[in-house]
Amino acid sequence: MFRYLVRRLLLALPSLLAISVVLFGVLALAPGDPFSDLATDPSIPSSVAAALRTKFGLDDPLPIRYLHWLAAMLHGDWGFSFASRINVSTLILQRLPTTLAVIGASQILALAIAVPVGVYAGVRPYSIFDQIASSLALIGFSLPPFFTGLVFILVFSVSLRWLPFVYRTDIGGSGLTLYWAYIRQAIMPVAVLGLFQGAAWTRFVRASVLDVARLDYVTTARAKGLSERVVVTKHIVRNALIPVVTLVALQMPIIFGGAIITEQIFRVPGIGSLLISAILANDTPVIMAVTFVFACLVILFNLIADLLYGWLDPRISYR
């Protein structure tokens, strides 16, 4: 197990390096650079601009610039935000917990919907419940999160006035009222993201249960006289959820995309909304760092899924 973990970690490193090359490549190929404004500024002589470029290594060959950048990133020197005048790493560390909390809560909601509904529909294929659940799942996964978010705001904030639609971090009060205020403002972002993912996963779970339910060992379990409940929970679900883990891991980039949109709609102060505001403010160091953090998170969750996969399915040996 330990050796597998080490090997898997070593395999994740080249992917991280490749992603950093892609990111750096995109940035290097793009026209313009942080000092391009200097060239057009008449108050700065061209010799000063050239000296600045040499000092910061902008005229070095690409591979050397890449190595400098990589070394700085590894040292934790992620640069300095042009817009908010603080270190990028501080900024990201402030914002990351909110994003992870919203994503985590929505994934729990998605699983709480998808597993029971998917299993029930998959065990009774083409029943009325299955038809209704499948239609709702297809509708839910055709509704883009940005539209659901707006409809939620329209219904629950504008019409009914039940929930606030701007996420605040400076809520006063203490104790239970404070917690309640936090939960209330998180309901809509979590629900938007969770329902969208839940709809997609319901389809996966249903298809997977449908595949497993007609295998011979399930018939054997029924023939032994086991109750339907035991057959479903102990025999079908355990095996049906194994491929779902992989699919969930493959969906990770989409989930982060959804989180960016949800954070933007509800003004949740996470790294997704940080990315959008950085792009709108031309804040290159922040854009690079946030994209890289998203890439690391995707790889981390893929790694976790791989480990889970081996734990859930003993037939996969850790070699």
Partner 1 sequence: MAGSTPASPTADVAAVVRPTQGRRVTPAREAWRRFRRHRLALGSAAILSAMILALLLGPLIWPVPINAIDFAAQLQGPSLAHPLGSDDLGQDLLARMIYGGRISMSVGIAATLVAVIVGVVIGAIAGTARSAIDMGLMWLCDLFLSLPQLPLLLLIIYLFEASLRKVVGQQFGTFILIVAVIGGFRWMSIARLVRAQFFSLREKEFVEAARALGASTFRQVVHHILPNAVSPVIVAGTIEVANAIIAESTLSFLGLGFPPDIPSWGRILYDAKDYLDVAPHWALVAGGAIFLAVMTINYIGDGLRDALDPRRVI
Rg (CA), the chain: 25
d(CA 189, CA 194): 8
Per-residue interface string for the shown chain with partner 1, residues 220-259, x marking contact by CB under 8 A = ------------------------------x--xx-xx--
Question: Considering the rule CB under 8 A, would residue 186 count as an interface residue with partner 1?
Answer: no
Tokens representing 223 are 């023939």
Q: Indicate the residue among 148 and 185 with the shorter CB distance to partner 1.
A: 148
Q: 302, 26 in Cβ contact below 8 A?
A: no
C-alpha 93: how far from chain center: 16
d(CA 279, CA 95): 16
One-letter amino acid of 315: R
- Angle among Cα 313, 315, 317 to the nearest 5 degrees reads 100
Give the closest residue to 121 by CA, choosing from 213, 258, 215, 222: 213
Contacts with partner 1 in 137-156 (CB under 8 A)?
138-139, 141-144, 146-147, 150-151, 153-154
Scored b (16 or more CB within 10 A) or e, 159-188 reads eeeebbbebeeeeeeeeeeeeeeeeebbeb
Question: Considering the rule CB under 8 A, would residue 279 count as an interface residue with partner 1?
Answer: yes
Question: Considering the rule CB under 8 A, would residue 132 count as an interface residue with partner 1?
Answer: no
Q: Indicate the residue among 182 and 309 with the shorter CB distance to partner 1.
A: 309
Size, binding site for partner 1 by CB under 8 A: 47
Shortest distance, position 313 Cβ to partner 1, whole Å: 20
Question: Considering the rule CB under 8 A, would residue 20 count as an interface residue with partner 1?
Answer: no
Question: Considering the rule CB under 8 A, would residue 27 count as an interface residue with partner 1?
Answer: yes
d(CA 82, CA 96): 19
Question: Considering the rule CB under 8 A, would residue 215 count as an interface residue with partner 1?
Answer: no
Q: Single out the residue of 275, 285, 286, 306 in contact with partner 1 (rule: CB under 8 A).
A: 275
Q: What is the DSSP letter of 144?
A: -
Q: Single out the residue of 107, 202, 239, 291 in contact with partner 1 (rule: CB under 8 A).
A: 291
Q: 122, 206 in Cβ contact below 8 A?
A: yes
Q: Single out the residue of 49, 50, 299, 305 in contact with partner 1 (rule: CB under 8 A).
A: 299
Give the closest residue to 123 by CA, choosing from 203, 206, 216, 200: 206
d(CA 164, CA 157): 6
Q: Indicate the residue among 182 and 222 with the shorter CB distance to partner 1.
A: 222
Question: Considering the rule CB under 8 A, would residue 213 count as an interface residue with partner 1?
Answer: no
**Phi-psi category of residue 282: left, alpha or beta, with phi > 0 → left and psi -120 to 50 → alpha:** left
Q: Indicate the residue among 142 and 177 with the shorter CB distance to partner 1.
A: 142
Q: Single out the residue of 260, 266, 286, 306 in contact with partner 1 (rule: CB under 8 A).
A: 260
Q: Single out the residue of 92, 102, 244, 295 in contact with partner 1 (rule: CB under 8 A).
A: 295
Residue 7: CB atoms within 10 Å: 12
Q: Indicate the residue among 182 and 281 with the shorter CB distance to partner 1.
A: 281
Window of 37-45, 131-139, 178-186, 311-319 that interacts with partner 1 by CB under 8 A: 131-139
d(CA 203, CA 188): 23
Shortest distance, position 55 Cβ to partner 1, whole Å: 24
Question: Contact positions toward partner 1, by CB under 8 A?
Answer: 15, 18-19, 22-23, 26-27, 30-32, 135, 138-139, 141-144, 146-147, 150-151, 153-154, 158, 214, 250, 253-254, 256-257, 260-261, 264-265, 275-276, 279-280, 287, 290-291, 294-295, 297-299, 302
